[in-house]
Chain A
Amino acid sequence: GESVGLHLPTLSVQEGDNSIINCAYSNSASDYFIWYKQESGKGPQFIIDIRSNMDKRQGQRVTVLLNKTVKHLSLQIAATQPGDSAVYFCAESNAGNNRKLIWGLGTSLAVNP
């Protein structure tokens, strides 16, 4: 049979390689940005955040880059592991809208052992 549905962008990497996931955001008034990881059947899990007064922030194995000029956000994962396989979403918010999150299109990351 044939399945019909929305196909997420997919990034396939080898274990140990670095991964870069990109996201375009929509609202120039957004001042807070978050990356979430979502595994199948689970709620989104916080990875890292960044405020608009910064252009780079590093965590453990992850780095977020923010380019406000072109409204672009990226997530870099170093030494990608099989446990990193999931769907990754960026989200934006601002203080003027009760900090509700506006979500980008997710990217499915597949890590090949």
Chain B
Amino acid sequence: DTGVSQDPRHKITKRGQNVTFRCDPISEHNRLYWYRQTLGQGPEFLTYFQNEAQLEKSRLLSDRFSAERPKGSFSTLEIQRTEQGDSAMYLCASRGGGEQFFGPGTRLTVL
């Protein structure tokens, strides 16, 4: 257990539905990252927060995706109007001054 938690661990949804995932980072870490990982691939960067500010977003983050970190602690990632291509593992990581610590991920399946 790295100290980073994610909820839910698994989500099955129908195409067109909205989903929201939550990440709770290590409490003293002010930097938070979201990544997406598909089967057999390495994670791909989605977005980065320093405290409550979203400082970088990948081009992978289409307008159907939004992420927030309202109080600089937990973060949420919302996907609107889900598509089958959104099926993946969504990983959250937090960082203090050194390496990134990853949560267990949320596995999303879009039917």
Contact = CB atoms under 8 A, between A and B. Distances in A.
B76 interface: no
Given A99-B31, A99-B95, A44 B55 contact: no
Given A100-B33, A100-B45, A101-B100, A42 B105 contact: yes
Interface residues of A, number: 25
A53 to B, nearest CB: 15
Interface stretch (B12-20, B36-44, B77-85): B36-44
Interface size range on B against A: 20 to 34
Chain A at the B interface: SS class: loop
Interface string B82-111: 000000000101010011111111010000
- The DSSP consensus for interface residues of chain B is strand
B56 A34 contact: no
Nearest to A99: B95
B104 A42 contact: yes
Q: Which 9 A-B pairs have the closest CB atoms?
A: A103-B42, A6-B40, A43-B102, A100-B45, A44-B102, A98-B48, A43-B104, A43-B105, A46-B99
